[in-house]
A and B are shown apart, each in its own frame.
Chain A
């Protein structure tokens, strides 16, 4: 549909984009990502006949767009720009109707059909409600939706969106991208969307092109493009890339370059047995209090694991969504034995992670102080037909302490040396 063939684009003689090749097919939702200043918007300018490439061609169905009349192109290709300020207080309807301009003659006035098309575009984008309001009175998200409605009124085959989610709150980001995806599917559009949020891009796009320093560094599915290597090369930044458990698409976790946690200033070592996010509130707090903390038997991609990784804590780690293996259990027990205090959080127990309680039994068996955070009470989170409950009772009988919640557990350890 729309192809850029080895385009070199620049301002004056200074190339900003070098030899970029891209293609966009009907029904595809393609994301263009890359660091600030890498040339994403310049590519959009070249693709929309605003900035003629110094070398290379942009073809729309094999016709060079720079040989087409601007109006002919505007009937087939619409652009939603990043900057959406409007100089005069046109009403929303007037702005949306402007999308019909390429279809009208010089003195032409919009006919019934044009108004119907604009009305439909406003329905789709949920902008009909404020059709008569002034465009200058709208919020960023509303104005962005108007501009999408205006682009739709052009009845394009190709839609280019330059950072449609910039400066928007997350609810509006999702709204805009859902809308763009839905329209791509429903109208069979070929859509290119420039995004700077890698996670949004990965989640929404069929295909991604990653730009760095004016060149296309990688293209392909999100899984192929969003990798730690590519991101390190493009952004000169180390990140962790994990597969998102529900969407099965890669997501990027940022790593702070600052030392991740204060150094241990106390002698006491604490081993935290947790999972399913129950350890997050304690982990950072314990570390801040200056304890040496280790973490036990957490699954990769679990938020407890992520937190432990972020804090760079020693940990017993299991593959995502897998039961605790013998090897991980052994490591968990070693970490617990090496600690002075073992805290067990209010983990929901199933057959797969019962080993966590067994590790606590063994730690108590070799004389470690064990705190059980019974929040919520065990009965509500025991999915093992009572096995977890009886193990907990066994630990308590062996002299472990029970805490009502994480705060109480913290209170009991905070005076330790």
Chain B
């Protein structure tokens, strides 16, 4: 029995390494290629030139201040949504769970719509809309948590219900704001469809990326506990998991990175729901492998989707594209036979 045991050991570490190296390389290549592709192709020589001697040409300007931040933001948002989705699916043991279930997106949408209607976007050096969206998303999550908290513990079913109910309420308010928006209606609708257009400030990208990085590392620390939770909450506790801390931690950090993503990109649908399923089909259910795999796939996926959107039209909402691309792929995965042993 020693040989297969050694094999199993090697396989987890080896799988993790192979995965991070392989998918990491894919992501880097994606970033490089995607930043290059666009209405205006940018020769590599121009980039190298400007990297050595500082930006001077128009093309270098586009690359450093338009393409690269947008691509980096796409990767950040894609990673955030998929890691949050995979974590919440694991926590709630519900295949339909996605980052927006928590009500964060609705809350952020309300904040963003309010910012548009009341012209608060100009605050904080133009980052006002993002900050308000992030704040209202986070507040909504606190409200959902407070509603879902039973006598002593978070009931997962009431959590889902509370998320749905609070979400509907917030969406109603968003709709109300839309009727009041007048000329600004188009801006709200555009935001709701989800897009990476127009958020190309390096500071915004940097803050979002930092939040997402912190959140993803925190969520990864719960990876094994999420595995144990698959045995049932009681069994997980009997295996030493502090389930209340786990639930609170996963919800908080998923909400954090979701809010960070939503506040800069609007509501990009489908990525957080389906990419985790795709990743699970590819690498299996072990969250220690699944979370990094889902994150990297999600990042690359969203960058490609956004690049495609850019090619169609500079302001084409990537959220529309993700759903158009992802849903059929998911059907295909559903119909294929399950993961081989």
Binding site for B on A (CB under 8 A): 12, 45, 48-50, 69-75, 77-79, 81, 83-91, 93-95, 97-99, 101-102, 104, 106-107, 109-112, 114-116, 118-120, 122-123, 128, 131-134, 154
B224 in complex: contacting residue of A83, A90, A99, A104, CB < 8 Å: A104
Query: Given A74-B239, A74-B240, A101-B228, A112 and B286 touching (CB < 8 A)?
Result: no
Is A134 within 8 A of B341, CB to CB?
yes
Is A118 within 8 A of B5, CB to CB?
yes
Is B1 within 8 A of A120, CB to CB?
yes
CA of A98 to CA of B225 in the docked complex: distance in angstroms? 9
CA of A93 to CA of B280 in the docked complex: distance in angstroms? 17
Is B339 within 8 A of A98, CB to CB?
no
Q: Which residue of B lies closest to A77 (CB)?
A: B238
CA of A84 to CA of B238 in the docked complex: distance in angstroms? 13
CA of A114 to CA of B5 in the docked complex: distance in angstroms? 9
Q: Which residue of A lies closest to B226 (CB)?
A: A88
Is A115 within 8 A of B5, CB to CB?
yes
CA of A134 to CA of B230 in the docked complex: distance in angstroms? 13
CA of A45 to CA of B238 in the docked complex: distance in angstroms? 9
Question: 26 A-B contacts, Cβ less than 8 Å apart?
Answer: A48-B237, A48-B238, A70-B240, A70-B241, A72-B240, A79-B235, A86-B230, A86-B231, A87-B230, A88-B230, A88-B285, A90-B284, A93-B8, A101-B224, A101-B239, A101-B240, A102-B240, A106-B221, A109-B13, A110-B12, A115-B5, A116-B1, A119-B1, A119-B4, A123-B1, A131-B4
Shortest distance from the beta carbon of A379 to any chain B beta carbon, whole Å = 56
Chain B interface, number of residues (Cβ within 8 angstroms): 37
Shortest distance from the beta carbon of B318 to any chain A beta carbon, whole Å = 30
A115 in complex: contacting residue of B9, B90, B242, CB < 8 Å: B9
CA of A229 to CA of B240 in the docked complex: distance in angstroms? 41
Please give me the 4 A-B residue pairs with the lowest Cβ-Cβ distance, nearest first.
A74-B240, A88-B285, A71-B240, A115-B5
Is B228 within 8 A of A98, CB to CB?
yes
Shortest distance from the beta carbon of A116 to any chain B beta carbon, whole Å = 5
Count CB-based A-B contacts (< 8 Å).
Answer: 110
Is A90 within 8 A of B285, CB to CB?
yes
B residues 196-243 touching A (CB-CB < 8 Å)? 220-221, 224, 227-232, 234-235, 237-242
Contacts of B221 in A (CB 8 A): 106-107
Q: Mark B300-321, 1 if CB is under 8 A from A, else 0.
A: 0000000000000000000000
Shortest distance from the beta carbon of B161 to any chain A beta carbon, whole Å = 19
Contacts of A123 in B (CB 8 A): 1
CA of A85 to CA of B232 in the docked complex: distance in angstroms? 7
CA of A20 to CA of B211 in the docked complex: distance in angstroms? 51
Is B240 within 8 A of A73, CB to CB?
yes
Shortest distance from the beta carbon of A70 to any chain B beta carbon, whole Å = 5
Contacts of A50 in B (CB 8 A): 234, 237-238
B2 in complex: contacting residue of A70, A107, A110, A119, CB < 8 Å: A119
Contacts of A106 in B (CB 8 A): 221, 224
Q: Does B335 contact A (CB under 8 A)?
A: no
Is B231 within 8 A of A95, CB to CB?
yes
Is A116 within 8 A of B285, CB to CB?
no
Query: Given A74-B240, A90-B230, A115 and B8 touching (CB < 8 A)?
Result: yes
Q: A90-B286, A101-B228 are in contact. List 10 more A-B contacts (CB 8 A).
A: A12-B151, A49-B238, A87-B229, A90-B230, A93-B8, A94-B285, A98-B239, A106-B224, A119-B5, A132-B341
Contacts of A85 in B (CB 8 A): 232
Is B2 within 8 A of A45, CB to CB?
no
Is A98 within 8 A of B231, CB to CB?
yes
CA of A118 to CA of B5 in the docked complex: distance in angstroms? 8
Contacts of A71 in B (CB 8 A): 240
Shortest distance from the beta carbon of B14 to any chain A beta carbon, whole Å = 11
CA of A84 to CA of B1 in the docked complex: distance in angstroms? 26
Shortest distance from the beta carbon of B212 to any chain A beta carbon, whole Å = 19
Contacts of A69 in B (CB 8 A): 240
B341 in complex: contacting residue of A91, A97, A102, A104, CB < 8 Å: A91
Is A115 within 8 A of B6, CB to CB?
yes
